[in-house]
Structures are given as C-alpha cells and as structure tokens.
Structure 1
Amino acid sequence: MSLSLIYVLLRWVHFSALMTLAGSSLFSVLLAPQPYAQHIARRFRLLAGGSAIVALVSALLLLAAQTGLMGDGWQDVLRIAIWQAVLQTHFGVVWQWQLAAALTGVMALALSGRARQGIYLFSAAAQLIGLAFTGHATLLDGVPGIFQRTNQAVHLMAGAFWAGGLLPVLFVMADTRHPPLRQGAIRTLMRFSGFGHLAVALVVLSGLINAVIILPDWPPTSFQPYSQLLLLKTVLVAVMCGVALWNRYWLVPRFQQSGTNAAHQFVRATCAELILAGGVLLLVSLFATLEPA
C-alpha cells in the first residue's frame, strides 16, 4: 500500500475520531439535561474514550506519514533527522499542538463524571480548530488568512456537531423506549435538532466560502480531480441535508401516531446519514493530497 493512500486513510480515521469525540461529549456536556446527562456520559464512556485514543494514535501516525511524504518515502519514516526537519515546518509546529491536545483527551480517561466529558470536549475542539491551520486553509496570509482559518474552524466545528452527533442520536433514540429515560432522551434530541439547524446552515455557508477562496474561478473550464471531488462532496452534503429535513419534518411529527413505523424509519435514515457523513470525511481526507484546480 502506498504511503499517500495510507496518509488519506489516516486522515479519514483521525477526522472520524475527532468528530465522534466532539459529538459524544457535546451531548453529555451541553445538550442533555440532568440527571440524564450522567446516564449518557456513562453510556458513551467507551465511545468517547476509544475516540480519544484513536485520535492520539492517528495523529502520531499522520506525523510519521507526513515525514515520509516530505522525505523520500518509507525509508525516511524512521529517520530522526527528517522528523526534526518536519517538526520545524509550519505543519510540524501546528501538529505538536495537535498532539498535546490529543494527549489531553487521553489523560481525561483518568478522570470521571462531568470533568472527564468537559476535557473530552475541549480536546476535540482544540484539535478541530488546529486542523484549520493546516493544508489548504493556509493559502492566504494577513487579514484574509485569518478570515480563511476562522471560516475553516467554524466549518469543522459545525460539521463535528452535525456529523459527530449522528451516532449519539442513535443511542439516545434507543433510550426513548425506556420510560425512566424517555423524557430526558426526548429533551436531548429536541435540543440537538434545534442547534442542528444552525450547525447545518454554518456547514453549508462556510463550505461555500471555502470553495470561493480556494477556487475563485469556479466553475472551472475543465474539472480537475480536486474540483470533481469537491462537486461530489457537495452532492453528498446536499443529500445529507435532505435526509435531515425528512427526519425532522416528516418522521418526527409522526412518532406518536399509532400504526406508523416512523421511529424505525428515523433510525434507518439516520444510519444512512451517518454513512453519507463517512463518505464526506473520506473525500475531505483525499482533498489534502490534491492541488486545488
């Protein structure tokens, strides 16, 4: 397997872990009312803890892969001199902060309760914001560069709320079938839905701004691989928006109607949305290896 392909897959794993960590901790820290928040914090313990560990390991492996890509391939992955050179680059400096934030998330495993969930959320947010200082988000300098990085950070955070919240939604949805947990689960889902409208809007708006900044001559006269993948990503996000609207405004109002299968359809549609989100993250991971054109 080529080092470039491994780099893409590692980015996909890293993005997925960060968004899952952000989504699960957001539910327990900000969305769920007490005492239901304590219940889902315990229920998400393995999900959040595993995501924190995967985020740290994938960050380390990404640095190793980047070292090989900046050098002459596999033979430079273990060369100390190449590592030292990479760590002095802009990417290397930013990635040292990434590793520190990822390590903070893993250290939270030693804590418990709300403190652990809060550090999980801090770790995920710090790493997502840090990603805005790498790759194509660093094309501009000065005030335009600050705007570009800020917009990218908003894009990543909003995307983490939306995509990272889909798996927790399935867990919380299951709790609606248990009377002692039903009220807290429903309130949590409604809060996610309310803030989700803002998150989706921010994802779409910041994504459009990113496209205009990176590809100012859009639409191009000839679609290069980057533009083709960007167009495919746009289509997938549009389908995700359609599924989200279907869930919220068609299925949710029918939950209480007897004889309907709305709740089961909601779960299936959310699973489909989760798969689409995975496809979007894979495309985003591939963008980093291509020249914008």
Structure 2
Amino acid sequence: MLPSLYIALRFIHFTALMVLLGSTISCSLLAPQAFKPVLIRRLKWLWQSAVWMTMLSAVMLLCAQAGMMGSGWSDAVNPQVWLAVLGTRFGSVWLWQILLGVVTVAVLLLKPRTLQSMLLILAAAQLILLAGVGHAAMREGFVGGLQRLNHAVHLLSAGWWAGGLLPLLMCMRMAKKPRWRGAAITAMMRFSRYGHLAVAAVLLSGVVNSLMILGWSLPLDSDYVRFLLMKVVFVAVMVIIALYNRYFLVPRFNRAQAATKQFIQLTWLEVILSVAVILAVSIFATWEPY
C-alpha cells in the first residue's frame, strides 16, 4: 500500500509542479501586458491549487518514504524515522523541496506584486531539485553533474510544454471574445513559437537521459524498459498532435470553424497523454532499469 501511495504522491507532485510552471510562464512571459491580469484571474484556480498540492505532496512524500524505509505506516509518522530519511541523499534534497514548497505557499499568501514571476522561479527551482533524486543521481563526479543537469533540462522543458496546455486552451476560449481576441491569439502564437524549443529540449534530453541510464542496450524483458517505451510512444503522439495543430489546423482557423474545434479536441488529447506520461514516469522511475 505504501509503495502505491508513494507513486500516487509522485504523480501529484510532478503534475502540480509542471502545471504551476506552465501556468506562470503563460501568465508572466507569454501573455501581452494588458492581457496578463485577465489570464491570471482566469487561471487562478489552476495555479493556486498547484501551489498547495506541491507543498502538501512534498511533505507526504517524505512520510511515505519514511514508512517504506522503516516498518510501515507507524514509521510514516515517526519523527525519528523522518530524521533518518533526511540524513540520506534523497532526504538532503527533499528537505529543500519541502522548504521551497513552504516558501511557495508563503509567497502565494503574501501576494507580492511580482507574484507570478516569483512562483515561476520557485516552480522551476523545485523541478531542478527533482533532478537530484532517482536515476538521474546514480552517477558521481562530473558525469553525474552532467546527468543531473540534463535531467533538469528535461523536467523544465516538459513542464513548459505540458504545463502550458491548459493555459493554451483557456486562451482559445478567450479568443472567442472580441475584446481579448488579439491578445489571446498573441499569447497562443508565442506559446507555439517558443514551444518548439520546449519540445526539442524534451526529446533531446530524454534521449540523453535514457542513454546515460541504460546505455545502448534495451532489455525488453525489463518492466522499466517497457514502461519507458510506452512513455516514448505517448510523447511521439503528442509531438505529432502538436505539429498537426500548428502547421495544419492553425492556418485554417479563419477559413473553417471545424479546424478550431478539432484543435481544441486534439489539445485535450495532448493533455490526457501528458498525464499518462507523468503517471508512467511516476511508476517506472521507482524501479531498477534492469
């Protein structure tokens, strides 16, 4: 039961961080200045929920790890076992993850003028920290540093891409309103333009990450490899959808209403696939590669 809870919490934590990163990038960097307050309000439920889920899941992950490291549920709430976990490599990284989660909630409650920018930085920092645990931390020295750097790029670019899909759908919805049509289209075009970089970074860093973990071998009898290949298929379909949307449907928006409807439907499919990818990673990243 605890391992299943741990996987579920990993899924929630990764998803919340990516949603927070994608939302804040859209609101603070991609939206035109006059459109920013409007988009922030429309997405308020999304990024506020992500902030709380990030912090709570980080704390609960520590408890779940303590339970698995100890003797079960009783040790999951045992402060002495928590301290033992915090003394491990995982714990030393996770302590900062929890602290940043608490700081993120504090920033949300204080509501500074630069709220979105600060949330963006904090979400990015927490995603970067995640590169310090798991298989990305399997190597030491210079090569280990490169592996963690590559994984950090992978997480950030994935958060930028997948986390930006719901704001993209919100912009599509707001583009129907004459008052915000121009600004919403500008935000969407910026997401599309710079999203190419995110997709390329996801693919390149993903290949490098797999090579650094598995080498050139691909043991198909390994559950890790099977789930990894499933992830690859999901991501490949997402790339195809993104390219089809951008280069086939978008040029037809003004000529065919059906193109807009299909764009929205396929983007929702992309959202579902991104959730499936995060779930798959949350599962197989807890397994040994061989």
**Given that residues 192 and 246 in structure 2 are in contact (C-alpha distance below 8 angstroms), is that contact kept between their aligned partners in structure 1?**
yes
Aligned to 2:177: 178
Matches within 5 A, 1:245-284: 245-258=243-256, 260-284=257-281
Aligned to 1:289: 286
Aligned to 2:92: 93
Residue-by-residue CA offset, 1:77-129 (whole Å, 9 max, x unaligned): 12222111111111111111111111121112234475111121111101100
Residue-by-residue CA offset, 1:167-200 (whole Å, 9 max, x unaligned): 1111111010011101110000000001111100
Question: In 2, distance between residues paired with 1:287 and 1:53?
Answer: 25
- Give the residue type in structure 1 aligned to 2:174: D
Residue 237 of structure 1 pairs with residue 235 of structure 2: yes
**Given that residues 38 and 113 in structure 1 are in contact (C-alpha distance below 8 angstroms), is that contact kept between their aligned partners in structure 2?**
no
Flag the 1:79–1:112 CA change in 2: closer, same or farther, 3 A: closer
Question: In 1, distance between residues paired with 2:214 and 2:154?
Answer: 17
Residue 254 of structure 1: how far off its partner (Å): 0.5
**Given that residues 138 and 149 in structure 1 are in contact (C-alpha distance below 8 angstroms), is that contact kept between their aligned partners in structure 2?**
yes
Residue 217 of structure 1: how far off its partner (Å): 3.7
Residue 80 of structure 1 pairs with residue 55 of structure 2: no
Matches within 5 A, 1:9-158: 9-112=8-111, 114-158=113-157
Flag the 1:180–1:112 CA change in 2: closer, same or farther, 3 A: farther
Question: In 1, distance between residues paired with 2:38 and 2:221?
Answer: 50
Question: In 2, distance between residues paired with 1:243 and 1:38?
Answer: 30
- Give the residue type in structure 1 aligned to 2:288: E
Question: In 2, distance between residues paired with 1:217 and 1:194?
Answer: 33
Question: In 1, distance between residues paired with 2:171 and 2:7?
Answer: 32
Flag structure 2 segments of 5+ consecutive residues without an equivalent.
Answer: none
Flag structure 1 segments of 5+ consecutive residues without an equivalent.
Answer: none
Q: SS of the counterpart of 1:180?
A: coil
Among 221, 224, 227, the alignment partner of 1:223 is: 221
* Structure 1 segments of 4+ aligned residues over 4 angstroms from their partners: none
**Given that residues 19 and 160 in structure 1 are in contact (C-alpha distance below 8 angstroms), is that contact kept between their aligned partners in structure 2?**
yes
TM-score, length basis structure 1? 0.96
Question: In 1, distance between residues paired with 2:112 and 2:76?
Answer: 39
**Given that residues 104 and 119 in structure 1 are in contact (C-alpha distance below 8 angstroms), is that contact kept between their aligned partners in structure 2?**
no
- Give the residue type in structure 1 aligned to 2:231: K
- Give the residue type in structure 1 aligned to 2:232: T
Aligned residues: 290
Q: SS of the counterpart of 1:247?
A: helix
Residue-by-residue CA offset, 1:121-161 (whole Å, 9 max, x unaligned): 11110110000000111011100001000000000000001
**Given that residues 20 and 160 in structure 1 are in contact (C-alpha distance below 8 angstroms), is that contact kept between their aligned partners in structure 2?**
yes
Question: In 1, distance between residues paired with 2:252 and 2:110?
Answer: 41
Question: In 2, distance between residues paired with 1:270 and 1:113?
Answer: 33
- Give the residue type in structure 1 aligned to 2:64: A
**Given that residues 223 and 284 in structure 2 are in contact (C-alpha distance below 8 angstroms), is that contact kept between their aligned partners in structure 1?**
no
Across the aligned residues of Structure 1 and Structure 2, the Cα RMSD in angstroms comes to: 1.1
Residue 288 of structure 1: how far off its partner (Å): 2.6
- Give the residue type in structure 2 aligned to 1:136: H
**Given that residues 161 and 199 in structure 1 are in contact (C-alpha distance below 8 angstroms), is that contact kept between their aligned partners in structure 2?**
yes
Percentage identity across paired residues of the two chains:
47
Residue 33 of structure 1: how far off its partner (Å): 1.0
Question: In 2, distance between residues paired with 1:6 and 1:288?
Answer: 14
